[in-house]
Amino acid sequence: MKNKLISIVFALGFLAATIKPVKAFTVNAQVWWNQLQAIATVHNVFPRAIICSGQAQGTTASGLPLFSYMNGHVIMPGQFGQINVFTNVYDPFISAMAFVNCNWL
């Protein structure tokens, strides 16, 4: 009985030491686009720094999806980060979207 109790306590202690709380959260990126570029902007309104990763996608008139990424971008309080996607005059954008996840720094 004592050995069983010790093994349970050890297992719970091991789990508590190895499990980390989830810190990631999704932010709302503001997306602006015209025929030649798509810009996704993330503003840090929090009183502490965040580190963000995400992608922006612009779909052209021919149906071609164009992507741009940011990975590990540190955004200080009151600042913003941007993801830019560009195309050419002959195949303009018809839509754009972005997905960004952030963590506390």
Domain that holds residue 83: 23-104
Put simply, whether the predicted model's pTM sits higher than 0.85 gets the answer no
Domain presence at residue 53: yes
Predicted pLDDT at 24 = 75
The owner of tokens 């009985």 is 1
d(CA 83, CA 53): 10
Predicted pLDDT at 28 = 85
Predicted pLDDT at 26 = 80
Domain presence at residue 11: no
3-state helix, strand, coil in the chain (%, to 5): 15, 50, 30
Task: Give residue-wise pLDDT tens across range 36-87.
Answer: 999 999 999 989 999 999 999 999 999 999 999 999 999 999 999 999 999 9
Number of domains forming the structure of the chain? 1
Domain presence at residue 36: yes
Domain presence at residue 18: no
Domain presence at residue 93: yes
Residue 88 sits in a domain whose CATH number is 2.60.40
For residue 82 the two structure tokens come to 């941007």
Task: Give residue-wise pLDDT tens across range 5-34.
Answer: 666 666 666 555 566 565 778 888 899 999
Domain presence at residue 70: yes
